[in-house]
Amino acid sequence: MELTTFWFITIAVLWIGYFFLEGFDFGVGMLLHPIGRTDADRRVMINTIGPVWDGNEVWLLVAGGATFAAFPNWYATLFSGFYLALFLILLALIFRGVAFEYRGKIDSIRWRQRWDLAIAVGSWVPAVLWGVAFANIVRGVPINDNQDFTGTLFTLLNPFGLLGGVTTASLFILHGANFLSLKTVGDIRDRAHRASEIAGVVAIAAGGSFLIWNQLERGKGWTWIPVLGAALALVAGVLAERAKREGVAFSATGLAIGLAVVALFGSLYPNVMPSSTDPAFSLTVENASSTDYTLKVMTIVALVMTPIVLLYQGWTYWVFRKRIGTQHLPVVHRS
């Protein structure tokens, strides 16, 4: 396997890891108000992801860094063309991170409500915009012969891109609901089950439509396998959630997210960013990549560091694996 292909696959794996992990904590943030009816409920929900949300975001940093190092031309065109969308994502992630840290700094219900709103908005914005962005990457955008993006933000707001946003948002809500049902007890767990049932219907409809549309227009023969696999995993997850098998439901939703990413990257290859202006202007794994020496050094570093990161993150989830509820919260003064 050529190193360019290896790093294309590696970047796809990094995005799978990011969407699997950050997907459920986005989902928890998006469900903060529909499920968390009281301040105590919302504290429990935030505590389920409190020890891990910042570690989940590391996958985004690594995916972006790997893209910059392995495919600098792809990185340059992507971040210049999608600048406003990516800036909004970054801004939302910053406010969301600040909200997690500052929510408990002042003993005031109104203070916490404001930061809860920041968490919710900071979860919704990237959940939708990541879908819009990836849908347009796969669909193709206006790129000229200098590999420069020639469209605008409104270029990205096409029906396929918007459906991609609905797909990621609904998948993350479903993933987050399944995570909450796995990690909580009592009323929050019951509400998470009900939210999962509703989100499951939307995710199956939106995700199925999105993947089949992409498959019919630009998919390959083998990419039908992950498309059908993702559909089956979603259905299995919904059925498992109804049977109160939360671990199976959460794993199935994560599998569906991973297979959806495989289908998208599979239909994209060997392009990394197709040009809708002229296919000859498309960025590919060959014309967008770094030198072989750079890719070799990156491969050595990745082989050494990846197992360490995975072991550490796995240990973190193991330590904080128990269910929690409002009865586990320390007593605080309410103002």
Give the pLDDT of residue 331.
65
For helices 39-49 and 159-183, the axis angle rounded to 10 degrees is 100
Give the pLDDT of residue 335.
44
Q: How many CA atoms are closer than 13 Å to the CA of 64, on its beta-carbon side?
A: 10
Q: pTM of the predicted model, to two decimals?
A: 0.93
Element at 283 (helix H, strand E): strand 283-284
Structure tokens at 265: 């990257």
**Is the link from the previous residue into 159 a cis peptide, with omega within 30 of 0?**
no
Structure tokens at 165: 């946003």
What string of pLDDT tens digits covers the 335 residues of the chain? 689 999 999 999 999 999 999 999 999 999 999 999 899 999 999 999 988 988 899 999 999 999 999 999 999 999 888 888 899 999 999 999 999 999 988 888 899 999 999 999 999 999 999 999 999 999 999 999 888 888 887 888 899 999 999 999 999 999 999 999 999 999 999 999 999 999 999 999 999 999 999 999 999 999 999 999 999 999 999 999 999 899 999 999 999 999 999 999 999 999 999 999 989 999 999 999 999 999 999 999 999 988 988 898 899 889 988 898 887 777 655 44
Please name which of 208, 209, 228, 218 lies closest in space to residue 271, comparing C-alpha atoms: 218
Please, what's the b/e burial string for 109-125 (b: 16 or more CB within 10 A of its CB; e: otherwise)?
A: eeebeebbebbbebbbb
Q: Are 292 and 15 in contact (CB under 8 A)?
A: no
Q: What count of other Cβ atoms lies within 10 Å of the Cβ of residue 275?
A: 21
What CATH number has the domain spanning 3-318? Answer: 1.20.1630
Q: Are 139 and 159 in contact (CB under 8 A)?
A: no
Q: What count of other Cβ atoms lies within 10 Å of the Cβ of residue 84?
A: 12
Q: What CA–CA distance (Å, rounded) separates 243 from 237?
A: 10
Report phi then psi at 272, rounded to 5: -115, -20
Residues in CB range of 163: below 8 A, 6 or more apart: 135, 206, 209, 210, 213
Give the pLDDT of residue 334.
47
Report phi then psi at 243, rounded to 5: -85, 5
For the chain, what is the radius of gyration of the CA atoms?
A: 20
Residue-range domain boundaries for the chain? 3-318
Element at 271 (helix H, strand E): strand 271-273
